Amino acid sequence: MAHWLLKSEPDSYGWDDLVRDGGTEWDGVRNHAAAKHLRAMAVGDDAIFYHSGKDKAAVGIARIARAAQADGDEGWVSVRVEPDRSLPRPVTLAAMKAAVGLQDMAMLRQSRLSVSPVTDGEWTALMRLAGE
Partner DNA sequence: GCCAACGTTGGC
Nearer to DNA, 10 or 83 (CB): 10
Nearer to DNA, 43 or 70 (CB): 70
The size of the interface with DNA (CB under 7 A), counted in residues, is 17
Side chain identity at 87, as an amino acid letter?
L
Indicate whether 94 belongs to the interface with DNA (CB under 7 A): yes
For 36, half-sphere exposure in the C-beta direction (CA atoms, 13 angstrom radius) is 6
Q: Which positions from 39 to 68 touch DNA by CB under 7 A, shown as an x/- string? A: -------------xx--x------------
CA distance 19 to 83: 6
Options 33, 40, 95, 99; binder of DNA; rule CB under 7 A: 33
Residues that bind DNA (CB under 7 A): 7, 9, 30-33, 52-53, 56, 93-94, 97, 109-112, 114
